[in-house]
Amino acid sequence: MMDMKLQTKTKNRVGLDIGTFAIKMLEISGAPDKPMLIGMGLKNISGPSKGSISDSIKALADEAKITSREVNISVSGPSVIVRFISMPRMKEEDLKSAIRFEAEKFIPFNINDCVVDFQTLTKDERENKFNILLVAAKKEHIKERIDLVEEAGLSVHIVDIDSFAMTNAFTRNFPNLGSEKTAAILNIGATSTNLSIVRGDAMAFVRDVSIGSNDLNVTISKDSGLSMESAEELKIDPKDKMQEIANCTKTLLSSLLDEVKLSFGYYENQSGKSIDEIYISGGAIGLVGLDEAFQDALGSRPSFWNPLGFLDASSAKLDANVIDKIKNSFAVSAGLVLR
């Protein structure tokens, strides 16, 4: 007879999201259908007095009481290219070289310097074609990330893409979104915003927009003559400068949402479907005037979602208030522990 313990005993999984502003780390254990939150933590790595990123990862792993030494990480930014392509139906073994050939057309770097991977999303029987999600990432960029982790005394299990991880966390939290519903998910960070469009449980569009909350520091410091550090403080707590900060935020959000609107338009044109709901996460969702900016630019207000909603946090020796305060920043790491 099969040992039941063996069946449910699975290795702990750790997600490590190395952002430009903060590192996020999350550990879960238990069977995939009822994962438990074991440890989590967030560490700010921006500012002049901070040490190396590796040291911060190491310190965070200790502070967050992470037990496993093996972590899942992700990459993003200009060295990562994601495309949805369609290919004529062909044998699996031919597909790989055909895709590599196809990829060369739009990868702005030498394909030999890239890791190329793909996933067949759907097989369109009627039109005799495959819809494929293609990813190319610069080897050098991946290696840099792995080195950071190894210098911190940890090892890398899986390398994912920020926006894919975020999307996985979302679909895990909303398994019943409905096949006829389209949701847009936005993760607004420090230097970039991950955008993904999900229909039912399938990812239909992804894109990173290089606009984030750090851009606001630049504007505030330009307008007020303050240092970047003071601008960061003022942004979080505007005190008597509320109106000035609100104006700067409005400008930033309108350029971000212009890009988002373009992507929505592209998706709507391609698919003939419209976006039903918008969900947001990321460290920057506390920006003043966010709701109104979305209403003005996209015609609807965004909803918040809890990236950790699918986890049982009851046994975690963590302060519920702390979890609540930082949970919005964990969309990427919550997706990483699912791999």
In the complex, which residues of this chain contact ligand ATP (CB under 6 A)?
A: 19-22, 189-192, 212-214, 232, 235-236, 282-284, 286-287, 329
Whole-number Cα distances in Å, 167 to 20, 47, 198:
20, 30, 8
What does the DSSP 8-state code read for residue 285?
G
To which residue do tokens 């020796």 refer?
317
**Which C-beta is closer to ligand ATP: that of 35 or that of 283?**
283
Give min distance, CB of 149 to ligand ATP, in A.
16
Alpha helical stretches, state H, the chain:
4-8, 53-63, 92-106, 139-151, 162-173, 214-224, 228-236, 242-271, 290-298, 320-326, 331-336
**Which C-beta is closer to ligand ATP: that of 165 or that of 177?**
165
CA atoms of 280 and 291, how far apart (whole Å): 11
| Contact footprint for Mg ion (CB under 5 A) | 19, 189
Binding partner of 54, given ligand ATP, Mg ion, none, CB within 5-8 angstroms per partner class: none
Pairing verdict, β 13-18 and 70-75: parallel
CA atoms of 56 and 67, how far apart (whole Å): 16
29's tokens:
């254990």
**Which C-beta is closer to ligand ATP: that of 39 or that of 212?**
212
Give min distance, CB of 201 to ligand ATP, in A.
24
Give min distance, CB of 124 to ligand ATP, in A.
34
**Which C-beta is closer to ligand ATP: that of 12 or that of 191?**
191
**Which C-beta is closer to ligand ATP: that of 19 or that of 302?**
19
Give min distance, CB of 56 to ligand ATP, in A.
12
Give min distance, CB of 246 to ligand ATP, in A.
12
